[in-house]
Amino acid sequence: MNVWVYDSDDKLNEAGAGIISGIVQTNPRAVLGLATGGTPVGIYKQLVGDFERGMFSFRGVTTFNLDEYVGLPENHPESYRAYMNEHLFRHIDLPSGQAHIPDGNAPDLEAECRRYDERIEDAGQLDLQLLGLGHNGHIGFNEPAHALIKGTHVVDLAEETRKANARFFPSLDEVPRQALTMGVGTILKSKTILLVVKGADKADIVRRALQGPITTDCPASLLQTHPHLVVLLDRAAAEKLS
């Protein structure tokens, strides 16, 4: 595990984008696992800037997003498809057919989960998986549980997770209650995992995830078992690490 702590958002975002762009420059046909939420926005902005400066191309890259809400139209402003289009996809040269996001409106959600896993398997091992960290230790939408599911699956979102995401919606009642999420088994198969966490409100869960016992009650703690985990933290998020 490599843990890096930064004193500014700009430096952290530059470091995160540099890790991703370095993989793409080394392997123009890289397979990337992408995340949404507030944490990666600055990283995506830095990537777009680097792309516009001609540093690399996404033309040969394939991407798989971690998750998508169930029941939100694809063009809903809070769908993760809309998020990715807004913050990354529409600014770069990634062909649309190479950008994969689970279909939360599929008529058969279980079949959609199987289809998504098959596409990931066909693309080969993820070269990098970008992750944020939920307040309850979830990664993707893999919530704390007695056992975690290996592949893509339908998940009932914890009330804590819904409340955390309510800031993006007019009210808590409008936050979806289910999502499709990539499983922990798929995440852990990635060659590199890049975990990015910001803010003092995440300091406790950062300590549990990185230095606490490995338990499904804190799904992110399973990342301790990964041979190439890179963690980028701001000073506030790292405050309670020993």
The residue from 87, 100, 138, 153 that is catalytic is 138
How many angstroms separate the Cα of 208 from the Cα of each of 50, 218, 226? 34, 7, 16
The residue from 13, 65, 136, 165 that is catalytic is 136
Contact 31, 126 (CB under 8 A): yes
Q: Is 65 a catalytic residue?
A: no
**Residue 213 CB neighbours (<10 A):** 9
Q: Is 14 a catalytic residue?
A: no
Runs of H (alpha helix) within the chain: 9-26, 41-52, 80-87, 109-123, 159-165, 184-188, 203-211
Strand partners, 62: 31
The residue from 13, 65, 67, 234 that is catalytic is 67
71: left (phi over 0), alpha (psi -120 to 50) or beta: left
The residue from 143, 165, 226, 234 that is catalytic is 143
Q: Which residues are catalytic?
A: 67, 136, 138, 143
